[in-house]
Structures are given as structure tokens and as C-alpha cells.
Structure 1
Amino acid sequence: MASDKHLTLTQIAEQQAATEQQLRLMVQVALQQAAEAGAEQSEIWCYNTVGNSIEVRQGELETLEFNQDSHFGINVYFGQRKGTVSINDLTEAAVHKGVQAACEIASFTEPDPYSGLADKMLMATEFKDLQLDHPNDLTIPHMVESARQCEAKALTDSRIKQSEGASSYSHRSVSLYANSHGFIGTNHTTRFSLSNSVIAETDNGMIRDGYYTIGRDVADLLPPETVGEQAASRVLNKLVQGKVPSGNHPVIFSAELARGLWSHMLSALKGAALYQRASFLLDKKEQLILPEFVQIEEDPFIVKGFGSGNYDSDGVATRKRDIVVDGVLKDYFLSSYSARRLGLQTTGNAGGIHNVLVKPMDLSLQEMMKQLGSGLLLTEVMGQGVNTVTGNYSRGASGYWFENGEIKHFAQELTIAGNLEQMLKNIVAISNDVDLRSSILTGSVAIEGMMVAS
């Protein structure tokens, strides 16, 4: 495949058209084979992802990779018995053996009364153009040049000692889901990114930071020089360092970190956590879990969105819906399986959440800091000290100490602690600096007070 390393995504898309036709034929044959073997229901999901990634370090091309990943998954149901097989060899012989193996596995599994396909009436029938596919003629030399420009811009300040590398990524995926209801859906998606990480030196040693831009369409990426400027600015801002007084202080999760905070809440609202009774938000539906000013919705239909899709991995049609209204929890994130376990209806979230939008206030980050007066603006958290069963939260952290709304210095080796249930209720503001580089769209989040130790 050495010659394929220089394929553009336009050329890759042309090749994937043939791959898609091959996958469609394999899917139809596999479903038929499962039915002939006696399976009452069956479903198949498969994908093919192809692309290029490069890394430039100190102006020189260090890594050039051509990536190709394929997968074919098979579920068969004999009554309440389920057999599952996953294969990476996309040949007719391998798929044939995979279906045989799935059927054999099903004969050994215990009956599960909640297994089976989602109801046929819930299958997606409308397929909106969400503009997720933007193959283009971006070449390897162009990717390399963009990375070089990005890195060169970041290294213009003499206080930055070295680059950890600038990386560029361009991939295209074709995915199919089909089942014995007669449903078949196809997705075509592209993803591009450009990133840079740099290192500066302080009296306390080296310190690093970076920045990245990402999008479905390469035209939506920030210019390479802007990414380099942002990487440099972020690390240079850390050069003035100091201490943070231990105690209970207002804490702001920057927009990048806030999506992690919300992801803990969303994990506690997923079906598996609920039916396993392993969630700090168990039985909280229609209860106040956030301040009344907080509004959260899920929207699978955002154009070019990272979580956009017309159907979930069960083939169920997705829909725009409220998750939190005036601080009150309105809905969960359920697959057809978890919904049956809970005696509820699927929410179209097999395979995960779609785009989650946390409505910001008409308030900038600077205005938020002024309102809080003094506190800690978090830029990094680390460690695994998050328990979504009890809600206990304790993590290493670093960030900026601010007083009278103005940043004073950067601080490292901190510990922040609290409980997620109380932290959510203690949110006092959500600023309008929404980070669009994720399927969780949020601005910075201010919490009234958390324990901070230095």
C-alpha cells in the first residue's frame, strides 16, 4: 500500500465507493445466511476508515502514516439467546465463517429477556443531509507545509525552547448498519485536524501546552499560524507561577474542561449506569439536579456536528430533545436494550450521546471572573478520582489563580475535591466562550466553591 500514502481524500472516496458496494453485498449475504441458519433476528454493523496522518518536529517530517481500518460486527438472536462476532478480515469467506461462529456462540449463551433488535416501527426513515462528508484534494505535501507553518509560528518567541511536534490528520469513513427488519443505513464522514505542542522553560523546570483545530471540513480549520499562536500563547501564559491558598474557593472549569465535567453527568444518565443502579443521579428524573438557569438539549442534526446522525447504532431514528429544562432532569440516554431493562422507551442513544448543547449565559469568561472576584480558573485536571456511582470527585489540577477578576499567576500541583451532585447544584454561571471542538458544546462553568489544596 506504499503508493496509497499519497492518496487525497477525494481519491480515497472514489476507492471507498467500491468498498461500500462490497460491504452492502456482504451485509445482504450475511443477513440471509443468518436467517437460513435459524436466527430469528440479526444485525450487522461495519465500517472502513482510510486516511493520512503526519507529524513534523523542528521543521522536519518525522512521521508519515497511511491508516486503514476495517471492521465487521455480527449479532444473531435465536429467541433470547445472542451470539456476537467481530472480524477485521472483510472477505466473503471470513464473513461466512463469522456468521457461522455467531450462530454457534448463541447456542451456548444464557437467554436474556431484554435482548433483540429495537422495534421495527422505531427505525429511521428520514435521512437529512448533515454535511458530514467533505473529501478534498488535500495532499501530503500540503499537510506537511501546514504543520511546518504552525510549528514555526509557535517557535517565534525565544522563551519557547522546543516543539513536541505539529501533527496533521485527514481521514474518511464509510459505515453501514443493517438488520433483519430490512433497515440499512449508510454514513460517510470526514475528519481533519491540525495540532501543535510546545515547551517553555521556567525556574521550576519545563512546562508544556498546545492547541488544536478540528473539523469535518478542512475549510473550517483555523489557519496554521493561528494554531501556532494559540499554542505559544497558552504555554507563555504559564511562565508567571505562584501558589494558591488552600481552602474553599470558587472554581471555573475552562470550556475545554467543562465538557469533561458534563460528560461525568451524562455518563450517570446512561442506561447501563441506571439499570445497574450505579449512578449518583439514580431516580432523579423530573427532579432539580442543576440551578434553574441551566438548559441542556441534545440535537443530532447539527450540520457538520461531531455527534450528528440520523440514527443510532440500533437503527433507531434520532430526535432533538430536552435533557434539562430549568435545572430539572427531563430524560436519559437509552439504547433499546437498556430501555427494556428499565421498562422505558429507547431515546435513540445506542452507541452514545449525540450533540449535547449547554445553553450559555450572556456573559464572557472575563465578566464571570469579575463577578466571582477571586478563585481558580482550571486549565488541566488529571487522575482517575471520579466516581459516578457516589459522585465523589478528587483530582490533581493546575490553572490560573485570579483576584478581583484579574489573572495573577499560574499554579501547578493542586488538588480539587467535591461531590458531583453538589458541584452541579453549585454552578453559578456558564460563560459564552463555547468550545465547538466536541459533541458536548459548552462554555466555561463556574462553581460556587470547591476544596482546593496546594
Structure 2
Amino acid sequence: MPQDLSALTEALLDAARAAGADAADAMAVEGASLSIDVRGGALEQAERSEGTEVGLRVLLGQRSATVSGSDHRADTLRIMAERAVAMAREAPEDPYIGLADPGQLARDWDVAALELHDDSPEPAPATLEDDARRAEAAALAVDGIRQIDAASASYSARRIHLAATNGFSGGYARSYRSVSCVAIAGSGNGMERDYDGDGRVFQADLRTPEDIGTRAAQRTLERMNPRRPKTGAYPVLYDERIAASLIGHLLSAISGAAVARGASWLRDAMGDTVLPPALSLTEDPHRPRSMASRPFDAEGLATQPRQVIADGVLRGWTLDLANARKLGLQSTANAARSAGSGPGPSAWNITLTQGTQSRDDLLREMGTGLVVTSMIGATINPNTGDYSRGAAGFWVENGALAYPVSGVTIAGNLRDMLRSIVSANDARPWLTRVVPSLLVEGLTIAGD
């Protein structure tokens, strides 16, 4: 029988008060997940997990501590609260911690409008296994594919409830369904692999396993017999598959936690031009059927759409309450937390302005350069934005793909790179980061 998560969080708060806490917030998460892996046409692994996790943060003046557990008996909750209070007494003071004022709290929200949970029945293990088998079979049917590294299907569903002594109480449910496939071609030093996958809130939105397996195979074959271009400065096109990683570095730099520590290459850039004037970066935590949507944040504040960057100009940091107080600002309702941790800032659904050109248009425009389709490692100086990453993809000559590339390093400075980007029009609108292919001029490529 499902737990009454609201009652569970209230019991935690009662235990915290009885243990001597000045204030507290509590989180309860009940969930189940199922994953199936297939290899060689046979079931390789099946995993299922389910349970309820609880977390409690207590505050004693300006000291705090967080505890979590999976046992929700009354005696256990009492012991958890007593331990948390004892830990808080030994914690250092932090002048910026504290719950939201009651007037800041979310009061009304429409969870149904966000479509965070698919009410269709949980798929049976046999259904997930069939999806994984179909993806594997489709990949192996492509001539040249030697084996499948992994073909997987999964499902998860969970309910979340948050409550605090400031009067907030609210919760919602989420679901997620996915299929993925990794294909291998060649052997020894000539072996290459690539993948494809899809993950959605609603099962009916998933691409077919056949499509996923076939595309994984095609991508793998496209990577065969890679070469390394000559070292030099060239334009680089970040394929839509990995372009969001470039914007991810920007999001890390405008996190209130990084800015408050002074560990951000954009720490003094508020009001400055950080993207081309034609581009904006928006956040919409209310986008339906997105895994990053939510009616309120982890501190009970109402989430709202906002412009992070407008016409190239940086307009705001990503803030929770504590980091907003450090910076003398208001929270942007971007607090995230797990049952076992306190809140910290996190971006929700991010969308970068799409351009008017296709990916092929940008290829023709770049002339000679590199299309990056995968990356490994990252060396990024958080204070200067100096950037270096291993990459693989395709070399472009005369505006057309010439040969696959691997084992190269691309380097530049993120501040300069982001101010020069040109966006394509190929972003997938259902992702939590809707970012199209991005062309960046003048990066250093270390090859032969």
C-alpha cells in the first residue's frame, strides 16, 4: 500500500520539534524502478528496486544538519531527529541558512498541467525485455555491426513530498521510460562504438526500439577508420547531441553557489553580453512532459519562467535562498535537493534560441573544420573559463563531411567561444536542455 508521504513528513517535523530544533524541513520520496539489459538475444540482467526514503534538515539558530534513512517507523524518526539536532549543535554557524518566510511560499499550483506522471500501467518486465531485444535485433541487422555492447529498457516512477515548519506542504509524482542501445563494429584497435537512446515521461512518446537500434548501428559505422587532422585553429560545430554540454558550462558559471564563492569566470558579468545579441537563454519549469519541470522548488518557493540571458545579455544568476542571501538578492526558486542533502541551486528546463539555418547550412558555412559528436574528459578553469576537452566526430572539407575523427583535443576560452556561437535549428524540443547544433569559430584543435 502506498505511504502517506504528507503524514510521514509531518511526523518528521514533529520529531524535530520534540528534539529541540528551532526549524526544520522534511522530504519523503517513494519510488520504484525496473531496468532490463539484453545481450546476444538473451536476458543479461534484470533489476528492480523500490522503497521509501526520508530526509530531515534541522536548524538550531544558524547551525544546521541533515540526516536521511529508509526506515520510517516512529521510533526511527525520533532517533533521526535527535541525531540531527545533536549534529547541528556541533556544526559551524552559517549566517545565510534558513527556511523561506511564509510570504515567499508557493500557495497554488496545477500539477496536472505539468504532465509529470504517465498514468498508464507500469510496463511488465517482459515488455521492457521485448523493447531491449528489438533494439538489439535492429542494430545487428545493419551490415557491419559485430556485436551489441548493451541494449536496455527501463521504467521508474516516484512520488515526492516536501514539508517544513514554516507551513509549506506539497508533493507530486513523476514517471520515466527509456530505451537505449550501444553498437560495436570492427575489432582490436579498429573497434568503434556509438549509441542512441530515448527517454520520456510518457511511454507513448518514445521512439520505437527499431529506430533506436538502427540509428545506434549507423552512428557506429560512420565512425569507422578515424583519422586525426593537422593541428591548427578551425571552426568547430558542436552536434546537437552534445551542444548542450557547452551551454552546461555556462549554466555552471552562473550558478549562485559558484558566483557566491567567487569561483566563476562570469562572476562579474551581470549585465554584460555573454552570447551573441540574436540569442537568448530561457528557463521554463512549467513545460509539460519534461523531467525538469516542477510546481515548486526544494524550499517551497513557486517556480516561474524567467529569462536567464536576454538578447545576449546576462540577466540573472541561478539561486536558492542561502546563495541569494549571500549575494544580497532574491531566490529564483531554483533550489534542488535529495532526501540526504540540503538545498542547492540547479537550473530547470533550459532553451536556447534556435537559428534560421540547418545543420547542413552551418557545415557549408564553416568550410573546413570539425564536427564534434562525442567528448571525453574536461579541463576547465572555473576562474578564467579556459577550456580543453577530448573529442571525436567528423572532419569537414569544402562544407561536406570528409572522414571520421577521433583522438583530438579542442581548446579555447568559454567567454570568447560563447560570444561567437551560431545556432542551427535542429534542437529536440522535449529535452530538458533544448539546444541546437552550435558553430564556434577559431578553436584550437590538437591533432597530428
TM-score, normalisation: structure 1: 0.93
How far 1:437 sits from its partner (Å)?
5.8
Q: Which residue of 2 aligns with 1:140?
A: 125
**Contact 1:373–1:405, Cα closer than 8 Å, also in 2:** yes
Farther off after superposition, 400-409 or 296-305: 400-409
Q: Which residue of 2 aligns with 1:398?
A: 392
**Contact 2:238–2:438, Cα closer than 8 Å, also in 1:** yes
How far 1:178 sits from its partner (Å)?
0.6
Q: Distance between the aligned counterparts of 1:336 and 1:249, measured in 2?
A: 43
Q: Which residue of 2 aligns with 1:315?
A: 300
How far 1:345 sits from its partner (Å)?
0.4
Instruction: Let me know the Cα RMSD of the aligned residues.
Output: 1.5
Match of 1:431, as an amino acid?
A
Q: Distance between the aligned counterparts of 1:226 and 1:217, measured in 2?
A: 18
> Which among 426, 435, 438 is matched to residue 433 of structure 1?
426
Q: Distance between the aligned counterparts of 1:296 and 1:229, measured in 2?
A: 33
Match of 2:404, as an amino acid?
F
1:150-180 alpha-carbon deviations (Å, 9 max, x no partner): 1111111231100112100001011111101
Q: How does 1:348-363 map to 2 (within 5 A)?
A: 348-351=333-336, 352-363=346-357
How far 1:449 sits from its partner (Å)?
1.4
> Which among 232, 240, 244 is matched to residue 255 of structure 1?
240
- Corresponding residue SS for 1:381: strand
Which runs of 5 or more residues in structure 2 are unaligned? 337-345
**Contact 1:26–1:95, Cα closer than 8 Å, also in 2:** no
Q: Distance between the aligned counterparts of 2:307 and 2:89, measured in 1?
A: 41
- Corresponding residue SS for 1:25: helix
- Corresponding residue SS for 2:85: helix
Q: How does 1:179-194 map to 2 (within 5 A)?
A: 179-194=164-179
- Corresponding residue SS for 1:393: strand
Runs of 4+ in structure 1 deviating by more than 4 angstroms, as ranges, are none
Q: Which residue of 1 aligns with 2:266?
A: 281
Match of 1:159, as an amino acid?
G
How far 1:240 sits from its partner (Å)?
4.9
Q: Distance between the aligned counterparts of 1:209 and 1:256, measured in 2?
A: 12
Go from structure 1 to structure 2 and tell me whether the alpha carbon gap of 1:389 and 1:89 turns closer, same or farther (over 3 Å shift).
Answer: farther
Q: Which residue of 2 aligns with 1:420?
A: 414
Q: Distance between the aligned counterparts of 2:407 and 2:245, measured in 1?
A: 20
**Contact 1:214–1:437, Cα closer than 8 Å, also in 2:** no
**How many residues are paired up?**
435
> Which among 82, 106, 126 is matched to residue 108 of structure 2?
126
Q: Distance between the aligned counterparts of 1:90 and 1:433, measured in 2?
A: 47
Q: Which residue of 2 aligns with 1:453?
A: 446
Q: How does 1:177-326 map to 2 (within 5 A)?
A: 177-201=162-186, 204-326=189-311
Q: Which residue of 2 aligns with 1:73?
A: 55
How far 1:388 sits from its partner (Å)?
2.4
1:203-233 alpha-carbon deviations (Å, 9 max, x no partner): 9510000100110011010011110111011
How far 1:202 sits from its partner (Å)?
6.7
How far 1:245 sits from its partner (Å)?
2.0
Q: Distance between the aligned counterparts of 1:93 and 1:99, measured in 2?
A: 10
Q: Distance between the aligned counterparts of 2:268 and 2:416, measured in 1?
A: 16
- Corresponding residue SS for 1:32: helix
- Corresponding residue SS for 1:275: helix
Farther off after superposition, 215-224 or 233-242: 233-242
Q: Distance between the aligned counterparts of 1:30 and 1:241, measured in 2?
A: 57
Q: Is 1:173 aligned with 2:158?
A: yes
**Contact 2:290–2:430, Cα closer than 8 Å, also in 1:** no
Go from structure 1 to structure 2 and tell me whether the alpha carbon gap of 1:203 and 1:181 turns closer, same or farther (over 3 Å shift).
Answer: closer
Farther off after superposition, 29-38 or 343-352: 29-38
Q: Distance between the aligned counterparts of 2:197 and 2:395, measured in 1?
A: 24
How far 1:304 sits from its partner (Å)?
0.6
Q: How does 1:89-128 map to 2 (within 5 A)?
A: 89-128=71-110
Q: Is 1:375 aligned with 2:400?
A: no
Farther off after superposition, 176-185 or 90-99: 90-99
**Contact 1:272–1:338, Cα closer than 8 Å, also in 2:** yes
- Corresponding residue SS for 1:451: strand
Go from structure 1 to structure 2 and tell me whether the alpha carbon gap of 1:97 and 1:203 turns closer, same or farther (over 3 Å shift).
Answer: closer
Q: Distance between the aligned counterparts of 1:184 and 1:82, measured in 2?
A: 20
Q: Is 1:64 aligned with 2:46?
A: yes
Q: Which residue of 2 aligns with 1:30?
A: 12
How far 1:29 sits from its partner (Å)?
1.8
Farther off after superposition, 241-250 or 323-332: 241-250
**Contact 1:358–1:441, Cα closer than 8 Å, also in 2:** yes
**Contact 2:227–2:405, Cα closer than 8 Å, also in 1:** yes
TM-score, normalisation: structure 2: 0.94
Q: Percentage identity across aligned positions?
A: 33
Q: Distance between the aligned counterparts of 1:59 and 1:217, measured in 2?
A: 27
Q: Which residue of 2 aligns with 1:7?
A: none
Q: Which residue of 1 aligns with 2:404?
A: 410
How far 1:384 sits from its partner (Å)?
2.9
